[in-house]
Chains A and B, each alone.
Chain A
Amino acid sequence: MKPTKTLLTAAAIATAAGGVSAEEMTIVSWGGAYSKSQLKAYHEPYSEKTGVTILNDDSSAEAVAKLRAMNEAGNITWDVVDVVASDAIRLCDEGLAMEIDFDTQLAAAPDGTPASEDFGDLLVSDCFIPQIVYSTTFGYRTDLVGDNPPSDICAIFDLENYPGKRSLEKRPINNMEWALLCDGVAKEDVYDVLATPEGQEQALKKLDTIKDNVVWWSAGADTPQLLADGEVVMGSTYNGRLFSVIEEQKQPVAMLWDAQVFDLDGWIIPAGLSEERKQRALDYIMFATDTQRLADQAKYISYGPARASSAPLVGQHADLGIDMAPHMPTDPENAKNTFLYNYEFWADYRDDIDAKFQAWLAQ
């Protein structure tokens, strides 16, 4: 009887503690090369400094739904979660992420600039600490475009000069904007036009012209694979994925930076953590988002650090030894014509336009 009782008590204590011992924290991210860059730049130095063991969970793609389910179940097992900005806004709206006081809870820049100024416009939500600027942009097969490599985003709609298939993401976001841009709508008017039913119809009509030549992707790894196999002549994906196709796998692929859509990825801390876990998560965030750490991450992956003060510190790729700056979406040479994802617009219009987009796809 006695041993059983002891066992039960031990089990009860373990359950009460949520199965997390004092020296562990669970950090959720996207997996693959991206998680690896975080492991090298943030996790390893942090563990070395504090002795905290970091457990990885590659669940960022379902983070919003899972956090909501955890919140309803009253058992939050994650400490820090990596999400894109639009998801962070959603989590903040749903009360599932903690609000952050940027100036007191984040490190200031080395010259003393407070964090809120250092991050500047990139602080798009009260709950979101930006980490990188990435972009959704196009890559094309250099051997399939002849002597006339595309330099303009509208090449995706130009079947005459660039015959063949193109891959686009299976959702309205970005595609609708590109369609309008290439249908003669001025950049600054795109979201005003897209807010009207006529504008949505106009965008779908433009997409209609290439519908039969599109392979629709839903995972970020699809376009790199399709490009490498020569299935498509050009395709959209995250710029870091294209970097690895071009520089690491040496495929005959080149970047088309025109009208790249900037987006942000960063951290949130789930709401409702115990005080102790919350403090640990905040401590980690303070460490991992300082100027040097953000610049370090760029050694492993071609995403631009979100702090202004980190940009001058970006160096060379850790393994390839090439300069990373020209591969950053924020590099002036690449950022001649860019587009900033409008979070608020899509928070409002996502349900409506997605239904129309999916109905259009199924036609």
Chain B
Amino acid sequence: MKIFSVNTLLSLGFGLIVFVFFAFFYRFHLNYQEQYQLFLFSADYFLKFMEKPGGFSDYVGNFFTQFSFYSWVGASIIAVSLTLLQRAVWLISRKSGANSLFYPITFIPSLLYWGLLCDENYLFGGVMVMLLVAVSVCIYTLIDSIPARISFVVLSIPVLYWLAGGAFLVLPIFAFVSEILKRQVKWTYLAIFALVVAILSVALPVISKTYFLQYPLRQVWIGANFFRFPVNLPFNVGVIALLIIFIPFTLRFLSGQVKTQKTTILLGLQWLVLLSGGVFFISSAADMAKEEVMAYDFNVRMRKWSRVIALADKKSPASPLSVTCLNLALAKEGLLAERMFSYYQNGVGGLLPDFTRDYTIPMITGEVYYHLGFVNTAQRYAFEAMEALPDYQKSVRAVMRLAETNLINGNYAVAEKYLSLLQKTFYYRAWANNALQTMKDENLIAQHPEWGWLRQCRSKEDFLFSEGEKDMMLGVLFRQNQENRLAYEYLMAYTLLNKDLKHFLQYFPLGESLNYRAIPKSYQEALIYVWVNTNNDPTKDIPYPVSNATKQRLQAFQRSAGATQPNGFSDSYWHYFYFRK
């Protein structure tokens, strides 16, 4: 018994490949998407989306995006959606008279949207728009009765406009071309149909803008948020939408031209072009450098410090943000002073990046400030990152951080506000319930391994945050809690990365309270380097317990200093000091 046709199996195969790509090779992009929205199971949230054209698609898109918390679930959803889109295009094509010989061509819209989804700024609501439009065209093609078909199109226009936004145009355009080709409707009726459709298509957005919506006309036309930046016109999506019209009619035409004896060659050729083109297109669309940063960031967010270090061990991070994540992970594992120069360092920017008015960098930098004990700064960065989101969404990650910082600061009323929002989410409800319980008891907060500790690390005196004086702020923070090893190591790392050995020497003794068993490697290297270059009395030995191995290694480094990049010292502070600009 034949359960699946070859074509169905090919569609399933396509879905499987999409799933594998997003679940295993591009999964952190999905986690990234998930953090920049706050999907709430509440009537208010739903109604807010339904207030504008295309809002329904955005809502459904957000609904599915929330499941990308687990990337394999998100990957499954994308795979199923793109497969359904392909099947819908095929159904439309078949009903329009296409030969199954051209089945590979029907993969093109899904393949192109797959490429778009490789860009982290394309939102999943766009796929929902495509599906809604494609399904409505499918329904049109399935209706035999002419009056029913025409009525369906006319009645669907306002509904589709409200559900999917400006992409609704695909249905009337398809219907119009289809009716011309079918020649079942008189030209007069066709002209009336075209006129009605044109009037509706123009009037709907204009009426909506005039009476219901406070959005620029362009946004009222486009409707759904295909792209995170609403000011950008989603031309690429428009092309894909037009393909839903173009492909069926083209295939209908080609089907009439094809000669039966050459079908195998033609089919093979199509698959060859589709596969090679697909591989080329997706590999060009995928940004693996960003995937790397997102991997670092996600693991930092999840506090999987050893995984961050493992990522760096596998491939040294190249981007400043990855370095920021790595340095935090090293510090959290107590390895910053020991191993930081074993990896690429890009100066103090990789330790504590400067504030920027966007939604990515402050989110990552805020993690560093949070774990250091700069609770207020972490709060500000979370707030600013969320405010910088160009599509006006809230960020679940930022809201969680705001709940935490307010809880640590004892602002329970505000913390409760954020937690009550998180209680309306799917994945974060349990966390919010737990936090609310903890908040009721000061002892529970004090005993909490993170919140209790950060409460102790907070500054006990007020000072104004100064971007240009991070070392001063770290010094103040450490002085107030001399068990805050992270603050000390960041302070020392700051001076080392800044090649500011004067202050390194000045701050070094502060670490006495941390009871290191031995001076960490990078500190030893800096100490012996300073000693060798400043001590004029050869009878005197360095007043710090620097190992003989380090002393000998410095001598070896100095002997090979003539070389452009001496081999074997890339993990040393000296190498950073001399060769990193």
Q: Are A and B physically bound partners?
A: no
Interface residue ranges, B against A (CB under 8 Å): none
